[in-house]
Amino acid sequence: MKITLNGEATEIIATTLDAAVDELGYTGKIVATAVNGDFVAREARGETMLVEGDRLEVVAPLQGG
């Protein structure tokens, strides 16, 4: 299905957020997620279903002021 990953149209097979994070290559990385603007905690990713058109944000640590 088509979702938006960090602003880019992306095709995924996974239907849960947990599986999508793995499929998209973030396995083992320190990242946080939000779906459609709402934070989804790491432990809730397995039960979070994704549907066509969802906006997924995946963020990681970066320099900041």
Partner 1 sequence: MSDPVTFYDTAVESRLLLGTALYPSPAIMAEAIKASGAEIVTVSLRREAAGGGAGQAFWDLVRSLDVRVLPNTAGCHTVKEAVTTAHMAREVFGTPWIKLEVIGEDDTLQPDLFGLVEAARILSDDGFDVFPYTTEDLVAAERLVHAGCRVLMPWGAPIGSGLGLANHTGLKRMRAHFPEATLVVDAGIGLPSHAAAAMEMGYDAVLLNTAVAKAGDPAAMAGAMAGAVTAGRAGYLADPMEAREMAAPSTPVMGKAFLS
CA 19 to chain centre: 9
Q: Is 6 in the site for partner 1 (CB under 8 A)?
A: yes
Cβ of residue 59: shortest distance to partner 1, in angstroms?
4
Contacts of 26 (CB under 8 A, 6+ apart): 58
- Using the rule CB under 8 A, which residue among 7, 11, 13, 49 binds partner 1? 7
What is the three-class DSSP state of 49?
strand
- Using the rule CB under 8 A, which residue among 9, 41, 49, 52 binds partner 1? 41
Phi/psi of residue 48, nearest 5 degrees: -95, 110
Instruction: Note the residues at the interface with partner 1 (CB under 8 A).
Output: 5-7, 10, 24-26, 29-34, 37-39, 41-42, 57-65
